[in-house]
């Protein structure tokens, strides 16, 4: 598959290339583990706390800094499309949606949880891509367990374990 993970930075990040590669690797891993058998595209924007707070307020009516936001283009349910998917004419890919990742919040959480920023960014990327594919940890307990299991399996595969 020819997946496109487009990553843009709207905030300064110490090692932008490493963060870009980490996000790309994690997103591609989830798409592979979910056996996405079409060319998929995801747009990722790395932002600061102010930007994600504004978006969280605007789109979720929550005036607070959050770590990641996911904006799916299609309705999926636990990895299965619930509507017909259409490839973009220019890229030939199906646009799965947008991910907005707050790098400063990810670093803060990494420190709080006692693991590396790479592990936290990897987790947030994995979490967001699963949301784009219709997994939802807020739907019910069974779906929460399923999503958490998929997150941990993907992170373990990539060696992004809790330190």
DSSP for 11-54, written as a single string? S--TTHHHHHHHHHHHHHHHHHHTT--S-EEEEEEEE-HHHHHH
**In which element (H, E) is residue 127 found?**
helix 117-132
> Does the annotation place 3 within a ligand binding site?
no
> Does the annotation place 127 within a ligand binding site?
yes
CA distance 137 to 18: 28
> Per DSSP, which regions of 1-148 are E strands?
4-9, 40-47, 68-72, 76-77, 80-81, 94-102
Report the Cα 150 to chain-centroid distance in Å: 13
Say if CB 20 and CB 58 are below 8 A apart: no
| Residue 107 structure tokens | 């670093």
> Does the annotation place 137 within a ligand binding site?
yes
Residue ranges for the known binding site are 127, 131, 137
Which residue positions form the known binding site for Zn(2+)?
127, 131, 137
């Amino acid at each position: 598959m020819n997946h496109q993970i487009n990553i843009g930075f709207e905030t300064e990040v110490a090692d932008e290339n490493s963060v870009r590669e980490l996000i790309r690797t994690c997103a591609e891993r989830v798409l592979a583990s979910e056996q996405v058998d079409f060319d998929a595209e995801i747009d990722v924007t790395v932002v600061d706390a102010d930007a994600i707070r504004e978006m969280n307020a605007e789109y979720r009516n929550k005036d607070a800094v959050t770590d990641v936001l996911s904006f799916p283009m299609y309705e999926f349910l636990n990895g299965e499309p619930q509507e017909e998917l259409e490839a973009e004419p220019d890229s030939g890919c199906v646009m799965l949606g947008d991910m907005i990742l707050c790098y400063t919040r990810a670093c803060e959480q990494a420190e709080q949880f006692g693991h590396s920023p790479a592990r936290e960014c990897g987790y947030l990327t994995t979490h967001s891509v699963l949301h784009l594919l219709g997994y939802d940890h807020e739907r019910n307990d069974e779906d929460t367990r399923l999503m958490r299991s998929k997150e941990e399996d993907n992170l373990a595969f990539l060696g992004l374990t809790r330190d």
